Amino acid sequence: MPQTGNIISGLVKDPGGRPVPLARVYFTKSPVPLPDIAALTNDNGEFSLSVPVAGTYKIACAAEGFESTVTEVTVKSGKMAKIQIRMKK
Amino acid sequence: MAVKKKSPTSTGWHTPVSNDPEETVISKTVSKPPMEGVNPKKGKVNDDGTEAVKEYKRIKAPEKWVAKFLALPKGVHLRDIGEASFGIPSPKAKGVIATPETVIGADDRIQITNTSAYPWRVHCSLMITGADNSMWIGTGWFIGPRTLMTAGHCVYIKNSGVPGRDGWVKKIVVMHGRSGNTLPYGSVTSTSFRSVTGWTEKGDPNYDYGAIILPTDLGNTVGWIGFGVYKDSELLAATGNLSGYPGDKPSGTQWYHARLINSVNSLKVFYDIDTMGGQSGSAVYQIINGYRYAVAIHAYGIGGDATVNSGTRITNAVFNNMQAWLV
C-alpha cells in the first residue's frame, strides 16, 4: 500500500518571476515505477504530485518558449515537499 | 428460437465499473481485427515488425542473451542499468547528456507529423481534468467507433493523497491525430469512463487500464487498432510499437518508438520502448502481416529495480472487458 501524504507541491515561474500556466511536469527518476502521466500547472503556475514512497525523485518541467529543467527533490515520509522551478528562455 | 450468445463477463479484480449512473454501453459485435477508417493513406510497415517511418532508424541492440555477456567500455559512465543491456553505446549515443530515466539508452524516438493518416490518427492526445480540477496529459487509442483504451489512472485517480482528487476524472478532451496545434479531426470531450475494481478499489498497478467512451462515432472515420491475447512465447518474439504524446516534447506532438518486448508475466508486459510522462495509456502493439494488434496498455515508467517500462497485458479478462466496452 502506498504511504499517504507524500506530496510534492510546486510552483513554476518564468525568468521574470511570473507564473507559467500549462507547463508539463513529470517524473524522470524515482525509487519505484510511477505512472507515465504528466501534470499541467494551473493558471498560477502551481502543481502537486503524489508519490507512493519517500525517497529522492527527479522532476522535469517543459513549457513552450523555455528550456526544460530537471529538479531533484527528496520526499520524507508523510511530509509535503515544496519546490520552485524557475524556467529559463 | 435463436439464442443470443452472451459475452463473457470478467470477474474478481477485473470486474468492470463505470461512472455512468446507468450502464449505457450497448453490447455489439465488433471485430477484433483493426479497421483503417475512411481514406486511410495507410503507412507502410517494415519486415522487422516496425512502422516504416521516414528517417527512423531503429538502434540495433544485441539480442538480450548476448547483451548479458558484453563488457562495459572502461571510462564510460553509465547513467542507468538499462544502458548496460545494450552493450557499447552507439556513436550517436556517445556524449549525449544523461537522458531521463524512462528513455532507456539513447533517445531514438521520432516525431510523427502525418498524424491525419492511419495508423497515427487512432492515437489521441488526452487533456484530463481531475475531480479537484487538476490537469494532466495522457494518451488513448481507438478500439472501436466510440471507445478509446487508456491507462486506468487516466480515468480514475487513485491514492493521490491530495484532498478531493481521488476518483473518476471530471472530463477528458480527446484530440485524435493531434500534431502540436493542428487538430485534423478537431476534438471531443468525454465524461464517460470505464475501468476495473482492481484499479478503482485496490489501486493495483496490475489492473491499471480503462476506457473512454466518446459521444460520437469518430472511430468510424479514423479507424482503430486491433487487439488480442497472445501467448508468452509470441510476445517475447514480438517487436513492440508505441506512439503517444510525451510531455518532454513540444506540446501535443506525437512520437513513435519500437523495441523488442523485453519480458512478460501473467499480468504485465515489459519493454525498452522509450516513453515519458504523458504517454500513459498508449497502445503497445505488434504488427502481424501488416495489421496492427495491441498487446498491452502502457502505464509505468522505470524506477527503482525496474529497468524497463511496462504496461497492462491484454489477457483474456482484459480482452473481455475491452469487448464489453465497445460501442
| More confident site: B31 or B123 | B123
Residue B26 has what pLDDT? 28
| Model confidence band, residue B171 (pLDDT cutoffs 50, 70, 90) | very high
B19 belongs to a structural domain: no
Q: Is residue B199 part of a domain?
A: yes
In a domain, A42, yes or no: yes
B97-119 pLDDT, tens digit per residue, is 233 446 776 788 999 999 999 99
> Lowest-pLDDT range, B27-41, B97-111, B256-270, B284-298?
B97-111
Q: Is residue A55 part of a domain?
A: yes
Length of chain B (residues): 327
CATH number for the domain spanning B138: value is 2.40.10.10
Work out the mean pLDDT of chain B and round it to a whole number. 84
Average pLDDT over residues B9-36: 67
**pTM score of the predicted model:** 0.85
- Comparing B25-39, B50-64, B170-184, which segment has the lowest mean pLDDT? B25-39
Contacts of B202 in chain A (CB under 8 A): none
pLDDT surpasses 60 at A47: yes
Of the candidates B286, B322, B281, B315, the residue with the CA atom closest to the CA atom of residue B301: B281
- A37 and B136 within 8 Å at the Cβ level: the answer is yes
Predicted confidence band of residue B59 (pLDDT cuts 50, 70, 90)? low
- Is residue B261 within 8 angstroms of chain A, CB to CB? no
Mean pLDDT across B201-207: 96
Is A2 within a domain?
Answer: no
Residue B63 reports pLDDT greater than 70 = no
| Per-residue pLDDT at B30 exceeds 60 | no
Question: Does residue B98 fall inside a structural domain?
Answer: no
Q: What sign does the CA torsion over B93, B273, A67, A58 have?
A: negative
Inside any domain, residue A80: yes
Structural domain boundaries enclosing A78? 7-86
On the question of pLDDT at B266 being above 80, the answer is yes
Number of domains in chain A: 1
User: Which residue in the set A36, A48, A50 is minimally distant from B277, CB to CB?
Assistant: A36
Strand order in the sheet with A46-50: A46-50, A7-13, A80-86
- Whether B14 is a known active-site residue: answer no
Contact A37 B310 (CB under 8 A): no
At residue B206, the pLDDT reads 96
Would you state the cell numbers that stand for residue B185, as one nine-digit string?
479531426
B162/A33 CB distance under 8 A: no
Q: Tell me whether residues A36 and B102 touch, CB distance under 8 A.
A: yes
Find the domain containing B204 and state its range.
123-222
Task: Count the domains in chain B.
Answer: 1
* One-letter amino acid of B14: H
Catalytic residue among B85, B125, B190, B280: B280
Q: Which among B137, B159, B310 has the least Cβ separation from residue A38?
A: B137
Asked whether residue B130 is domain-assigned, the answer is yes
Q: How far is A15 from chain B (nearest CA, A)?
A: 20
> What is chain A's mean pLDDT, rounded?
93
pLDDT at B139: 98
Contact B126, B154 (CB under 8 A): yes
Lowest mean pLDDT among B39-53, B139-153, B175-189, B208-222: B39-53
Whether omega for the bond prior to residue B119 falls within 30 degrees of 0, making it cis, is yes
As a whole number of angstroms, the distance between CA B88 and CA B173 comes to 43
Is B133 a domain residue?
A: yes
In sequence order, the β-bridge partners of residue B293 are: B226, B286
Q: Determine, for residues A36 and B248 on separate chains, whether the beta-carbon distance falls below 8 Å.
A: no
CB-closest option in A25, A37, A60 to B138 = A37
Structural domain contains residue A32: yes
Burial level of B64, CB count in 10 A (0-12/13-18/19+)? Answer: middle
Complex prediction ipTM:
0.94
CATH number at residue A71: 2.60.40.1120
Q: For residue B45, is pLDDT > 80?
A: yes
Q: Do B277 and A24 touch (CB under 8 A)?
A: yes
* Beta carbons within 8 Å of B247's beta carbon, 6+ residues apart: A24, A25, A26, A38, A60, A62, B137, B276, B277, B278
Query: B21 falls in which pLDDT band (50, 70, 90)?
Result: low
Average pLDDT estimate for B212-228:
97
By percentage, how much of chain B surpasses pLDDT 70?
80
Q: Do the Cβ atoms of B322 and B26 come closer than 8 Å? A: no
Cβ contacts of B134 on chain A, cutoff 8 Å: 39, 42, 47-48
Q: Is residue B160 part of a domain?
A: yes
Mean pLDDT check: name the lowest of B20-24, B56-60, B257-261: B20-24
Look at residue B10 in the predicted model and tell me its pLDDT.
83
Q: CB distance from B160 to chain A under 8 Å?
A: yes
Q: Is residue B255 part of a domain?
A: no
Give B121-131 pLDDT, tens digit per residue: 999 999 999 99
Going by pLDDT thresholds of 50, 70 and 90, the confidence category of residue B60 is low
Query: Does residue B135 fall inside a structural domain?
Result: yes
